[in-house]
């Protein structure tokens, strides 16, 4: 919901020739950065990879649940904490207005000397670590917990794509 609201702000700003945030260009950069991080790293990746993987992999390999439910729980709860850090970074000394790629010069020390950029990078590391734990759980489930008659050659393509990804 927050990503959609930020998208609305971007579209309203681009609807006018001079824009609404011309006086405060850093605010526009912060909105772009927050929108990109929220939509990519906190919606698309967790929903497409984590959500569908947790739902479909146990069904497709014929087991009752994922191999390590506590690891699965950790990877789930890492996302809200990292998302909270992205929200809080927008409030620290003007926020991190670097764009979703974090390219220099916008992410350089001269342009961003505030701890907001460090907070964004730390939140992406936390979200990435949770995603990595989730993918390890997917691999472990596909290797050890599959139905006894399902050999690796008979596993569905979705399972193989999640294994490789």
Kindly report, residue by residue over 10-62, the tens digit of the pLDDT: 888 878 777 776 567 778 888 888 899 999 999 988 888 889 999 999 999 99
Instruction: For residues 133-154, give the mean pLDDT.
Output: 89
- Is it the case that residue 127 has pLDDT exceeding 80? yes
Largest CA distance in the chain: 65
**φ, ψ of residue 8 in degrees (nearest 5):** -60, -45
DSSP 47: I
* pLDDT interval class at 115 (50, 70, 90): confident
List, for residues 82-95, the tens digit of each pLDDT value.
999 998 988 888 78
Q: Long-range contacts of range 77-83, CB-CB < 8 Å, 24 or more positions apart? A: 77/130, 78/126, 78/127, 78/129, 78/130, 78/133, 79/42, 79/46, 79/127, 79/130, 81/126, 82/41, 82/42, 82/123, 82/124, 82/126, 82/127, 82/130, 83/38, 83/42, 83/123, 83/127
In the block, residue with structure tokens 């950065």: 33
Quick one: pLDDT at residue 21? 64
Confidence class for position 112, pLDDT limits 50, 70, 90: confident
pLDDT given for residue 122 in this prediction: 94
Which pLDDT value is given to residue 22?
56
In Å, how far from its chain's centre is CA 5?
A: 17
Q: Is the pLDDT of residue 149 over 90?
A: no
Task: Report pTM.
Answer: 0.84
pLDDT for position 114: 80
Instruction: Name the average pLDDT for the chain.
Output: 87
User: Is 123 a residue whose pLDDT tops 70?
Assistant: yes
């Amino acid at each position: 919901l927050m990503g959609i609201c930020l998208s609305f702000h971007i579209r309203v700003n681009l609807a006018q020739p001079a824009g609404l945030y011309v006086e405060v260009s850093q605010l526009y950069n912060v909105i772009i950065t927050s929108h990109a991080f929220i939509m990519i790293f906190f919606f698309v990746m967790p929903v497409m990879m984590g959500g569908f993987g947790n739902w479909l992999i146990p069904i497709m390999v014929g087991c009752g649940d994922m191999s390590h439910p506590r690891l699965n729980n950790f990877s789930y709860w890492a996302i809200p904490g990292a998302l909270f850090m992205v929200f809080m970074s927008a409030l620290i000394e003007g926020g991190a207005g670097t764009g979703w790629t974090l390219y220099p010069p916008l992410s350089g020390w001269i342009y961003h000397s505030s701890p907001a950029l460090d907070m964004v990078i730390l939140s992406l590391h936390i979200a990435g670590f949770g995603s990595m734990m989730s993918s390890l759980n997917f691999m472990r489930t596909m290797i050890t917990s599959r139905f006894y008659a399902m050999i690796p050659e008979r596993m569905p393509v979705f399972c193989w794509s999640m294994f490789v990804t």
